Amino acid sequence: MAEPKIQNSSPVGESTPRIDAREKVTGAAIYTDDLQFGNALLYARIKRSPHPHALIKKTDVARAKALPGVKAVVTGEDFPGYIGLYLQDRYIFCRDRARYVGDPVAGVAAVSEEIAQKALDLIEVQYEALEPVLDPEAGIRPDAPLLHPDLGKYVVAGFIYPKAGTNISNHFKLRKGNVEEAWDKCAAVIERSYRIPHIQHVPIEPHIAIAKVDERGEVTMWTSSQSPFAQRNLIAQSLGISQSEMRVISPAVGGGFGGKAGVSMESLAVAIATKVKGHPVKLRLTREEEFFTAFVRQGLSAHFKMGCDKNGKLLAMENCFYWDGGAYTEYGVNIARAAGYSCTGPYEVPNVKGDSYCVYTNHPVGGPMRGFGMPEMHAGLEQCMDELAAQIGMDAVEFRKLNCLKTDSILATGGKIHPIGLEECIQKAANAVDWGRKSPASAPNKRRGKGIAAMWKAPAMPPNAGSSAWVELAEDGKVNVGIGGQDIGQGAFTISAQMAAATLGVPYEWVRVAAPVDTRYSPYEWQTVASRLTWSMGNAIVNAAKDVRKQILDLVAEAWDESPDELDIVNGVVISYKSEKETPLKNLVIYGLPNPDGRGWKGGPVIGRGNFMPKDVTGLDAETGQGEHGVVHYTTGAQAVELEVDLDTGRIEILKGVAAFDVGKAINPELVKAQMEGGLVQGISSALLEHLQLKDGFPKNANLVDYRIATSSDIPREMQSIIVEVAQDDGPWGARGIGEHSMVPTIPAIANAIFDAVGIRLEGPPFTAEKIYLAMLDAGIVK
């Protein structure tokens, strides 16, 4: 059989698959509570710590319990279990101490949100304020206050290395060659430091969860989630119940970007619901709470040292990262790990020393955000590449092309890189902005510049993160596809339908994706994170569709006395290339086919199943970071920008943004381009505007007035997305992910363009007009 073709005959808006009607009912229910839950619904609010670091000496909830309308008040004493993905380092509610402003101390369920809020004011908590840790580099000092005295007792994943008796929750080491000997051989060496601030995901829809515990103790939670199966597992573990007694239903997600992965506030709703059995309990974060009590992107203090020979060939790198992991680092520890094994960027370097520390601080909890540490890490590294090239008088594009990874290049972790098209991405991005040709500014008071940056990113996941799928057919021959991955706007449902249709041999319009994701009925999916669904879940869908296809062709082959190899399914019709017989699927996929002698039937309802899990991921040595196959694969690419700086105001205008990425195979080219554009815009937002301002541990701009994100007025005048396709050997049709990668190189591309325009560099983003103008003033560029 020839390789099935993916159908891409219509634009994105017209190619959306039909979704099972359940989504329309349940999806609306989380917002129209009275229709689904009636007057049994209770509303929860959370009492939060006003201190960045404090011991909890006493909690008195008597007055709150006595308030009419209050149905339950809970504290940490009610829930002794730890919770966490890679590191179980926190309670659902604080027990002995609070570790950040906003840490949940108590919870209330009441008949209205207003009464619940009043009850919070009646809860009396006595604190003993402690000295906070407010900087990751200060946090690793021996005399720093110890935030987690029990760190050595926490349950931790085998590839995470916490240091008991310190604030270091993970230290990833990478060692290759001999860095000290290499420095003397370098013709040019640079050392630079950068600081990347915390930012927020700012989903349009804040976090929300509704949890209900029935009289048998079985739990149902409705929540906007990227991780329904992980939430089922982690919350059940913490509460000491069976995973089979916990059900998570996840309707459409109103913005995720990583912030709705894992568990943040969802466990609070479930915990409170255990005290009011039979009543659903709704917990909704306010916009202010969303900014600092849900996950934030970690801050980073990064130090780079790198050198090359006179021909521009990289000889050595020594990089050290201090991640501001916040009060709890259940997810942050893996971000530090990913940055550690990726610390060289997409370059072949013979001598490497890398250290990546995840450090506890008394800041909001750091968690996954689009790029998973790679935008922060690349922000400084790619500026260093420009500076090192300049030191030896080499063009920045040629310097990157000389040093970038190519097929079979040796990685810093020891193995070889799979086939990639990074060099092509760099060249095409440069060509798109007319690299090497200086364009005139639009006005006398403006300066124009161009910048480029490359990137790489692997799916940062455990070695055994699995996917599964089922495919079934209805009486009319139409196809239902069951998946556990979530569509968060990236088009997961669309490509699921495309891959099932192409594999099975039916029109795309015949495929319907069963939604919402429901852990009781949907097949298992680890999480919708790491830009892995097209690759991992896609393989599971293909395997399930192949299972269905085999059942159908075997059945027809037996009925027609032919070989399955002589049969095919084309546009929903089984055809024989030998006898030229044909029969539509609707004639056989439910009721089967009659035996030729008229005695009985064969076949029956057709349903296929498939799964996928990478089989060859190896561990990385704890002391050297070396391993043959430490990650499943890398997606690589580059961005180039052209911008203007206003000398009178410092304001930056992005004139053109170009993204070129090797996606292996674009299953849906329009969706791929949309991801490139969206990532570019979000990257611009983080480069020019965003900064969650924390002073002494207190958030100062937790609102959409003082915290700016990019809007339509900030989008470049021109955006261009370039697809490069070098097939991934184990991807469906050769595909790999692109969702996060398009945000990774934006900050350094803009920083390099600013330097090209006006000759200044800043310690880190955001590159606001005020900071740019003051830097130009200090440099004597303006007076």
Residues with catalytic annotation?
Answer: 740
- Cα distance between residue 591 and residue 752, in whole Å: 65
Amino acid at 48: R
Phi, psi of 769, deg, nearest 5: -60, -40
Q: Read off the tokens for 540.
A: 């599971």
Which residues 6+ apart lie within 8 Å of 712 measured at CB? none
- Contact indicator for 662, 738 with CB cutoff of 8 Å: no
DSSP for residue 362: S
- Cα distance between residue 747 and residue 378, in whole Å: 8
Provide the β-strand partners of residue 654: 643
Q: How crowded is residue 580: how many other Cβ atoms within 10 Å of its Cβ?
A: 7
Cα–Cα distances in angstroms (integers) from residue 694 to residues 291, 343, 762, in the given order: 11, 27, 20
Find tokens 């505007």 and name the residue: 689
Which residues 6+ apart lie within 8 Å of 21 measured at CB? none
Phi, psi of 607, deg, nearest 5: -145, 135
Order of all β-strands in the sheet with 607-612? 18-19, 511-513, 479-483, 467-473, 607-612
- Contact indicator for 296, 198 with CB cutoff of 8 Å: yes
Q: Read off the tokens for 196.
A: 């990347």
Chain CA centroid to CA 724, Å? 22
Smallest Cα–Cα separation from 620: which of 337, 380, 358, 332? 337
Element containing residue 483 per DSSP (H, E): strand 479-483
How many residues belong to the chain? 783
Provide the β-strand partners of residue 416: 410
- Contact indicator for 481, 655 with CB cutoff of 8 Å: no
Mode of pairing for the β-strands spanning 90-91 and 82-83: antiparallel
Which residues 6+ apart lie within 8 Å of 652 measured at CB? 643, 644, 645, 646, 688, 750, 754, 767, 769, 772
Q: Read off the tokens for 111.
A: 């008949």
- Cα distance between residue 630 and residue 621, in whole Å: 10
CA angle 87, 90, 95 (to 5 degrees): 155
For 422-455, letters b (16+ CB in 10 Å) and e give bbbbbbbbbebbebeeeeebeeeebbbbbbbbbb
